[in-house]
Every structure is written in C-alpha cells, then in structure tokens.
Structure 1
Amino acid sequence: MPRRADHNWHLPWDQYLATLKPHERPTLPGSPATPDHTAWLRLQYALTGVLVALVGSLGNAAVTANLTSLQGSLGITPSEAAWLPVVFVMTNACMNLILFKFRQQYGLRLFTQICLTAFVVTCAAHLAVDNYESTLFVRAVAGMAAAGLSSLGFLYMIQAFPAQHRLKGLVIGIGLSSFAVPIARLIMPGLLQLDDWRAFYTFELGMALLAWAAVQVLRLPPSERLKLFEPLDFVTFALFAPGVALLAAVLGLGRIVWWTEAAWIGWALAGAILLLTAALMIEYDRKNPLINVRWLTGPDILRLFGAILLIRITLSEQTSGAVGFLTVVGLGPDQLHGLFLVILLAMIAGTAVSALTLNMAKLNKPIAIALGLIALGAFIDSHATVLTRPAQLYLSQAMIAFASAMFVGPALLIGVGKVLQQGARNIISFIVMFSVLQNLGGLAGSALIGTIQVVREKFHSNQLSADITSLDPQVVLRLRQLSGAYASTLTDPALLNAEGAALLTRQVTQQANVLAYNDVFLIIAAIAGLGCAWVTAVHLRPRIKARRQARRDARNTPPPAAAPDAATVAAAAD
C-alpha cells in the first residue's frame, strides 16, 4: 500500500535508503527517491511539475515571440532588442554544468529554494526596471534561474508516475517546456492590451509565486549527497561558460548585424573557439572530468548529438520561418491565435504519443519519424503564396509541432541509457551537451533561416525588378491602378506616379520575400528528409546485420537428426 510522501524523510540517508524498495531508490546521486505515492499525491506532483516547467520557460518564450513590441516599449534598435533573448540563452545553456553537481552535493531542498527564490526575485525586478540595461541584466539572471526550473519540473513529473511508467513521466516532463512558445503567443496579445509589458511581468510574477508556494508545500523526496566539486571544475566552468556565451552571441546577432559587416562577430567566434578548446583540453586528461571528452566523442554519442542538432535546426521552420512568412504577408499576432492553438494541441498530442509508444529498443524510430514529419510539413509550406493565410498552414504546422514534441524524450533516453551502461559517471557530460545543443541549435536554426531568407530575397528582388520596365503596357496599367488609390487626394500627376511606383516596389519586395521563404522551406525539407534517411539507416543497420548473421548461421548449421519413430524404438527395446 502506498505510504505518505514524507514517511521516514527525517532519517539519515543510509537509514532512509534501507526503508525503500528496490524500485523506489534513486538511479543517480542528486536525484530524489521515488517512493510509492497515493493517487492524490501523484496528481499534486503532476500539477506542480507542469506549473514549475511552464514558469521557467514562459518568460523567454514571451520575449522571443514579442520582440518587436518590447523593442518599441524600451525605445531600442532591432540589434539591441535581439540581445534580450540571446543573453537568456547565454546564461541558460551551460548552467547545468554547475547545477547538477550542486544538486548532488548540497541536496534537492537547497537547490529548489535557490532556483525558485531567484526566479521570483527576477520576476519582481522586471516590475521595477524600465530601461534597456536593467532589462538585459534581468533576462540574463532569468536564464540562470530557468535552467534549474526546467530540471525541477521533470523531477516533479517523475514522482507522478508509478515505477513501471516512470520513463513516460520523464518524456512528458522534458517536453513540458516546449509548450511555452504557443502558450505565450496565445496569451501575450491580451496581456499587452491591458498594460503593455507590465501586465505580463505581473502575470509572470504571480505564476512564479504560485510555483514557489506549491514547491514549499509539496516537497520532493530526499536524495543522496556526495562531495563532488573539485577546484578544476570552476576553472572549466570559467572557460566553458563564456565560450558558449560568445558562440550564442555570434549565432543570435550574426544575421542581424550581418556576418561580414560587424568586426566583433569574428573576434567573438575566435574567442569562443579559444575558450572552448582550452576548457576541453583541461577536461581531456582529468581523472574525474566535468565534461568527459573521450566519451562525448564516441561514434554513438556523436551520431545522437548530430541528430539532436539537426532536428533543432529544422524546427526553426516553425518558430522563425512560418511566423516570419506570415508577418511578411501582413498578419499580426491577433490573427495567429488559431494557428498557435493548433500548434499547442499538436505538441500535447506529440508528447502523449511519444510517452505512450515508448520502446527502449527502438528509440531511433521516433527521431526518424519526427524528421520525416518536418520534411513533409516544410515541403507543404514551400508552396505558399502572398494569399496564404494561417488556415492553409494548420496541417503542415501541426505536423512540425507534433514532431518537435515527439523527438525530445527519446533523444534524452538514448543518451541516458548510454550513460547508465557505464555507471552514470558521464551523466553531467551528457546533460550539459544536451542542454547546449538544444539552446544553440535553436539559435543556429534561426540564424540559418534568416541568412538564407535575406540572400534569396535579394536574388528574387533583382529577378523581379529586371522584368519591370516602363515600356511594358502591363506595368504601365498596373502603375495607373495603384496610383488611382490616391487620385482623390493628389492632383499632381508626378506625385501620383511616384506613389504608384512606391506601391509597386512594396509589392515586388513582398513577392520576393514570399519566394525567399519558399526557398527556405524547401531547403529545410531537403535537410530534414536527408536526416530522416540517415537516422533510419542508423536504426535499421544493426537489425539488417543481425538478420544476415542469423541466415548465415542457419545455412552453416547441419540439419537435426530425424527423430526415431515408435516402431524403431520398440524394435530396439526387443
């Protein structure tokens, strides 16, 4: 019969561990025990996990989705506004390098209190600051706090499932943070109408206080503590963290200030390479490395990281590509509610399907399916026109959203499975690289899509403009039609012609942008299609080898001797 959640929690760790059944014991130091809870407690843990995970990711999703509005509110340039989501990634990407060991050495309770208290203070600070520099600092602190909240969210979610379904809880917990983007797109227009960004910051603070109260009331079971920090850990972090931050700055700002126009892009990239190389060289020969370089460069792990990075890049088709396209054709946030509701429902469905169909022997299969769905969805989008509206994108974007939720859990489980095969000593290395690839992969995808779109827009603009000449009767007719809109207010023929030419130029630019986005969607479809074929080949290769070996063994095995019949046995007995 399930026990109370706090039963025996006051005991020293060794004594408490002796009271647990084998399936209730934690798999890793720093992770909570998983005792058999009552159904009511499981529900409370599930709700708390959802709340904590969404609180940690909602703020950055809102900033990223409404950057233009925040730019106007703060009175800053587009390049200055682009730093706001980038600094969040800069601090968030590699915090697990320290946080995981902190949790193992100082315990879950202190870890929980620090993360949530820091986030509440950050949300409150948003209400007190009204200038760009302070907002930039607050977003950086929010990135550090959110790194702990994402881990805390799925630790709570795991408690909500019995032992036989615990991996399903992990899949759901890791997928919760992805729901923040469509939720932010749905709620932000209404909040901004209430009191601009102050309304959202108040809402975020309220959510953070709810999460803080829930975690104070509903504690996680205790975990094992070990003294793990070494002096070289902090040296590695001092090199690795700024290296990742510089790389994030390059990927996040490169397409905005343009890669070859800003000298600091080159210096930042060189600095990132230098710092990351120094950090990895220190870790390479350590007895107890923080980042196990030898293990991370194994072929299986490299293939896994390649698949994760590939999917994160191609998923930018939705977050940057589709949204950018709809902005180009003149749609605002209020007109995208239906689309993001479809995306949210598809993400929920993808997470549920991923958890329910989880098969530890075939974890590559959902990754291949996800890439296939992205390829198909992006190919459908590549046929968009200037008349395309959100309703025409429901199917393709639902497929991509379903894929985005479907791959994360299996990808994490592949890595965790390989870690546990070697005694869990590489868990920090894997979690750090998984987090870095998730964060930098998103920035890399946006950078790729933005760069290709700009280049192709210039190409299509030149192609379309080359065919426009005043000697063409159709062009002259079109100019008259466009200038006719101002005929009732302008009487000067020269001004009328100038206004008509300006309108025609805007239409040409819009058409060039649409064609550029179609090129982007087609390239993403090709990349995802090739990735699907590659992951499928990786998935099928060992099975094909096993079947060939089985057939070879069958041919080389002599047929069994025929069993004697009853008459022969009787004759021998006589």
Structure 2
Amino acid sequence: MNIGFDKWIIVITVTTAALLQTIDSSIVNVTLNQMMGNLGASLGDISWVVTGYAAASAIMITMSGWLSAKLGRRNYFAASIILFTIASVFCGLSTNVWELVFFRVVQGIGGGGLLTTAQAILIQTFPKEDLGLANAIFGMGVIIGPSIGPTLGGYITDHLSWSWVFYINIPFGILATFLAFSYIKEPAEPIPAGKMDWFALILLVMGVGGLQIILEKGHEKDWFDSSFIVMMSVIAVVGLIGFIWRQLNVKIPMLDLKLLANRQFAVANLFNFILGFGLFASVFIIPVFCQTILGFTASQTGLLMMPGSILTGFMMLIVGVVMRKNFMSPIWYAAIGFAMFVAFCFDLSGLSLSTGPDDFFWPLMIRGIGMGLIFIPLMTITVADLEPAKMAQGSALSSMVRQLGGTFGTAIMTTYISTRTVFHTNRLGDNLSIYNPISTERLKQYTALFMSKGDALVTATEKAYKMLYGTVVRQAMVLTYADTFLVIGAFFLVCLPLLLLFSGKKIEAGEHTEMVME
C-alpha cells in the first residue's frame, strides 16, 4: 500500500473535524448542572443547549450535499470548521442561557457539515483499494468521539469551568482549517447545484427540525399529552411530507432522495439507522446507569468506557486492512459485528446492584470489537454503487439516517426506562406489606437506625418508610436497565436476518468485486 503524505494529512484533517463534531455532541451533557448554576437557568431552559445543537446539526447534515456542490467541497468543509470554532468561542463567553442556546445552534450549523463532507472528501481522495483503511481512521473519530466526550467533559467540569468544554475546540479548529485549505482539493469535475430552494429549506427546517425537537423533548413534555408536542408533530409531518414531495419534483434537489431507488444504498441506510439506534442508545444508557444507580462520577464512567472505544478504533484499522485482501464479503464482517452487539446487550441484561467496573469490562470489549466490524464494511457498502458525483449527496443522506437512528434510539429508550421503572416499582411495591415479614423486619431496622441518631419514633418511622421506598425504586431501576439491554439486544437480533436483503448484489471489498452472501 502506497499512500502519499498529502493523503495522510487529509485523513488527519477530516478525522480532527469528525472528533470536533462527535465529542461536542456529548461533552456538554455532563456540564449541564454547572451551567444551570452559573447561568441561573432551569432544567427545561438548559436542555435547549442540547436540543438546539442537535436540531441545527440534523438540518445541516441534510443540506450538506447541496452546499458542497454550491460552494465547493473544500470551501464548505473549511467554512463549517471556521463557523464551528467561532461559535465555540461565543458559547464559552455566554452570560445567559438563551445567548448560549443561540450560539449552540450556530455551532450545530457548522458541525452538521463536518461529518458528511469529510466522508465525501475521503471518497474523492482515495482509490477504492485504500478507502477501507482511510475510512477506518476516520471512523475512529465518529465512534470514539461520543464515548470520550463525557470523560473529557467530566474532567473539565471537575477541574476547570463549563466554558472550557467549548474553548478546547479552538486550537483543533484552527489546525483543521489550516490543513483543509492547504491540502484538500476540489473534485476534478464540478458537481451541478441548482439555486437555493427557499421553499424546500423552510419545509426542511419544519420537518427535520420539528422531528428532532419532538424526539429530544417528548419525554420531558410527556409526549402527546403536551400541546407543544402535538403542535410540533403537525409541523414535522407537514414539513417532511412537503420536503419529500418537493425533492422528488425538482430537477436538482437539495437532497437526492432518488438515490434510495438503488436497492443496495437503501438497504445500507436501513442498517445505518439500526447502527445509530444501537450506538447512541447504548452510549446513553451505560453512563446514566453507572452514575445514577452505581454512584460513579462522570470521569469514572468515561474511563470505564474508554478501553472498548479504543478497541473499536484498533478493530477499524484491522478491518480496513483485511478488507483489501477480499477474504470475504463486507456483509459477513457486518453480520459478525451485529451478532457481537447482540451478545454485548444480552450479557448486560443481568445487571444488579452489585455490578461493578469489572462486570462491564468484557461486555464493552465485545461491543468494541462488534462496532469495529460493523462500521467500515457498512460505510463501504453504502457508497459502493454510487457515482462519484452522487457521493456527497449519498454521504449526507446516510449520515442523516444514522443520526436520526441515534435520536430515535435515545428517545425510545428514555421513554421505555420511564414507563418500565413505574411497572417494576409497582410490582415490587406490592410486596411491601405488614403481612410480609421481610419488609416488616426491614422497616424495623430502618426505624431503629434513625432513632439511634436521635429522631423521635414518629419521625424515625416516616424516614424509614421513605428509605424503604427508595430502596424499592432503586431496585426497580436496576431491573429496568437490565430489561432495556434485553430489548436492544432483541431488536438487533430481529434485524440480523435483514442482511439477507443484500443477497444477489455485488459489492467491492477492495480491488475486486464479489457476490454478497454467496
């Protein structure tokens, strides 16, 4: 393999940009409490710091293919980095919550163009025999970013202030901008781009932005019991249907949905959605469980997840090299990876209050290997049939689908955890009775404990009941998180046979072409 210096610099550039975007999508979550205190914001207000970024990013991901063609791929990529970096400065300097929300939206506008344009640049730069390795290095930023974000955010929160979760972007943004202008070149053949379709843009903001807000805020607002969620649902449905109709009926669309007529591309995006669902849902569930139930700090939780994330990066490199040898179709790598993700979920479905860091180690290592086996083959399969001029549009569509999968996964699992906790709490609470000797004995022990600390009998009894109820709720949450991993594992298991939809298609796994699933 002979990859020139300039090409390696391009890999480093786009990977740095990917890390900026993916880390920033998760690093803020662990600093929200400090932001609330310093900015005098409520939980509902501060949550828009996350929601605003996610919604703006989702919209820009959808538009990135068209903007790359309109402005030039290098120019749009560099402009996205510059906007992201400048917005990071103003986020750190914000003096009230709504100022911060505004600049997070601006940051999301910049961040949304990074991942999809970066992938299109790699496809443009590398020949197919080397693309797997290049995608592997780039994929490390996509996969590792969400995992190290909470660790980095927790460390910064503990030792500095919340502003520094934004300031750390500045040197990397400057470096990535310099490298982008110095080494990235425009495609040899210009990609046609029509005029700005303002009507389509309005429909896009309504549809994708509304859907993102629904998924981010639905649980907090109690879903369709909230008039706000109902209103946003109507806006999202009208926007999405209108946007799809518009894109199918204009000569040069903002997002080329006709690419989905390609069976391989359509099936690959189904699995991009599944991948996003599992990746983001598991990244969300494990830190919440460790910190709320087991009492881990943000830094401890991040360190817990770090080995598996590092292993994912190494596996991507290995898979990228091995795929060039054409030992087997990329589909088989993905199938093994999905099977390992199922094993990871089923292993963690046995969680208990005695679960410790050692109990997470091997399941997370299995997950790390599985994600490494899935990501690179899936990226290869997604773009294998696309013409070079369609690469940017295809990357934008697949990135949007993967992000929506992650948003759906997080929203669905949040709702499931909430409702399932109530179920287990009620079921366990049925055993709390004066006729149950175990609960009666435990109540006596708690009452005696509080009386030994000087409380009167009435006060001690009241505290004992609260403590007993808290124990029940905690155990109910453990059962709920165990059920959640079981549900995710079952979801992946059911989806695994859908890989047969690739049967009969030809996919390049390097320099040669072979039949999939032969």
Q: What is the root-mean-square deviation in Å for CA atoms of aligned residues? A: 3.0
Q: Distance in 2 between matches of 1:86 and 1:425?
A: 33
Amino acid at match of 1:264: F
Matched residues in 2 for 1:370 and 1:62: separation?
27
Q: Which amino acid letter does the alignment assign opposite residue 346 of structure 2?
A: F
Distance 1:331 1:349, change over 3 A: same
Change (3 A) 1:248 1:158: same
Confirm or deny that 1:487 pairs with 2:451: yes
Paired residue for 1:538? 501
Residue of structure 1 in register with 2:82 after alignment: 117
* Aligned pair partner of 2:315 in 341, 350, 368: 350
**Residue pair 2:330, 2:378 contacting (<8 A) in 1 also:** yes
SS in 1 for 2:220: helix
Q: Of 193, 214, 230, which residue of structure 1 is paired with 2:158?
A: 193
User: Quick one: distance in 2 between partners of 1:45 and 1:293?
Assistant: 29
In structure 2, the CA distance between the partners of 1:392 and 1:350, relative to structure 1 (3 Å rule), is same
- 1:225 is displaced (CA, Å) by 6.1
Pair 1:383-2:350 in alignment: yes
Aligned pairs for 1:58-207 within 5 A: 58-151=23-116, 153-154=118-119, 164-207=129-172
- How far apart in 1 are the matches of 2:156 and 2:119? 28
Matches within 5 A, 1:266-415: 266-297=230-261, 299-329=263-293, 330-358=295-323, 362-415=329-382
Aligned match of 2:418: 454
Q: C-alpha separation between the residues in 1 aligned to 2:191 and 2:395?
A: 19
- Give the Cα–Cα distance (whole angstroms) in 2 for the partners of residues 404 and 170 of structure 1: 14
Residues 505/163 of structure 1: CA separation in 2 closer, same or farther (3 Å cut): closer
- Relative distance call for 1:487 and 1:88 in structure 2 (3 A) is same
1:429: Cα distance to partner?
4.3
Does the 8 A contact of 1:315 with 1:400 survive in 2? no
1:80–1:410: structure 2 CA closer, same or farther, 3 Å change rule? farther
Higher RCO (CA < 8 A, seq sep 6+): 2
Question: Number of paired residues?
Answer: 506
Is the CA contact 2:433–2:439 (under 8 Å) kept in the aligned structure 1? yes
The counterpart of 2:206, out of the listed 227, 231, 242, is 242
CA distance in 1, matches of 2:437, 2:4: 79
Matched-pair contact (CA < 8 Å) for 1:158–1:173? no
Show the counterpart of 1:263.
227
User: Contact 1:49 / 1:155 at 8 angstroms: preserved in 2?
Assistant: no
Moved more, 501-510 or 483-492: 483-492
Q: Matched residues in 2 for 1:429 and 1:42: separation? A: 22
TM-score normalised by the chain length of structure 1: 0.80
> CA offset at residue 436 of structure 1?
1.6
Letter in 2 for 1:147: G
Deviation at 1:447, TM superposition (A): 1.0
Distance 2:126 2:246 in 1: 40
Post-superposition shift, 1:365? 2.1
After superposition, the Cα gap between the structure-2 partners of 1:407 and 1:64, relative to the gap in structure 1 and judged at 3 Å, is farther
1:475 CA drift (Å): 1.6
Percent of pairs with identical residues: 17
Moved more, 359-368 or 277-286: 359-368
- Is the CA contact (8 Å cut-off) linking 2:120 and 2:395 kept in structure 1? no
CA contact (8 A) 1:89 1:143 kept: yes
CA distance in 2, matches of 1:287, 1:149: 26
Match of 2:174 in 1: 209
2 CA distance for matches of 1:474 and 1:112?
Answer: 64
Q: Deviations over 1:292-345 (max 9, x none)?
A: 444425544433222221222123442122222222322221332431221321
Is 2:474 aligned against 1:510?
yes
Q: For 1:374 and 1:484, how far apart are their aligned partners in 2?
A: 47
**Partner Cα distance (2:233, 2:128) in 1:** 46
Q: Which has the larger radius of gyration?
A: 1
Relative to 1, partners in 2 of residues 1:159 and 1:292: Cα closer, same or farther, differing over 3 Å? closer
Kindly indicate whether the alpha-carbon contact (under 8 Å) linking 1:367 and 1:411 is maintained by their aligned counterparts in 2: yes
CA displacement, residues 477-508 of structure 1 (integer Å, 9 cap, x when unaligned): 21222234333432411111111111111110
Q: Which amino acid in the other structure matches residue 390 of structure 1? A: P
Q: Normalized against structure 2, the TM-score is what? A: 0.88
Gaps of 5+ in 1: 1-35, 551-574
1:402–1:140 CA distance, 2 compared to 1 (3 A): farther
Instruction: Check the 8 A contact 1:250/1:268 in 2, yes or no.
Output: yes
CA distance in 2, matches of 1:395, 1:532: 22
What's the offset of the Cα at 1:153?
Answer: 4.4
Give the Cα–Cα distance (whole angstroms) in 2 for the partners of residues 92 and 107 of structure 1. Answer: 20
Q: Report deviation, 1:509.
A: 0.3
Change (3 A) 1:160 1:101: closer
Asked whether 1:467 is paired with 2:467, we answer no
Q: Which 5+ residue runs of structure 2 have no aligned equivalent? A: 507-513
Opposite residue 16 of structure 2, the aligned amino acid is: L
